[in-house]
Amino acid sequence: MQKTKKVGESKVIMTELVLPHHTNQLGNLLGGQLMHWIDICAALSASKHSLRVCVTASVDRIDFLHPIKLGDAVNLIACVNRVFTSSMEVGVEVYAQSFKKGTKVHSNSAYLTFVSVDEEGIPVKTIEAVPETEDEFKRYEEALERRQNWLKNRTKKV
């Protein structure tokens, strides 16, 4: 099995069109629909990187920065930020593009954790992600900070 892979090799780009059944009463894309698309795009990126089936372990954060309207194209860009043992963080950036208005706006960001599994659904060690660009190194370090915070908060009693 391959031991390392460049972060850039995990990049997945998806485009969806916002149709009436994807919107709320205000003509905005439903948050749940966008979360579904984000999960699919991130899962494809994780599987592309690990060469295995990957399952969603957690959604760290989804920020809704700008509404996405009926008729907009939604561009989702996912990439593995960092690999731990069997888990990996995938970052997704979402852009709303209006062809009518000629605009493209960063509307959402999300961080998800996926786990590589074998044929029986058992977590397995996955391929290490090697950052190359300045942005990839930044996301690589930030992923470790998010994981450390998650582990610290996980041990706190409610």
pLDDT tens digits for range 116-131:
999 999 999 999 999 9
Number of domains in the chain: 1
What pTM did the predictor assign? 0.92
pLDDT, mean of residues 46-52 = 96
Q: Are 41 and 62 in contact (CB under 8 A)?
A: no
- The pLDDT tens digits of the residues spanning 76-88 come to 999 999 999 989 9
The CATH number for 26's domain is 3.10.129.10
Mean pLDDT of the chain: 94
Report d(CA 126, CA 116) in Å as an integer.
6
Partner residues linked to 112 by β-bridges: 59, 90
Q: Give the residue numbers spanning the domain of 118.
A: 4-154
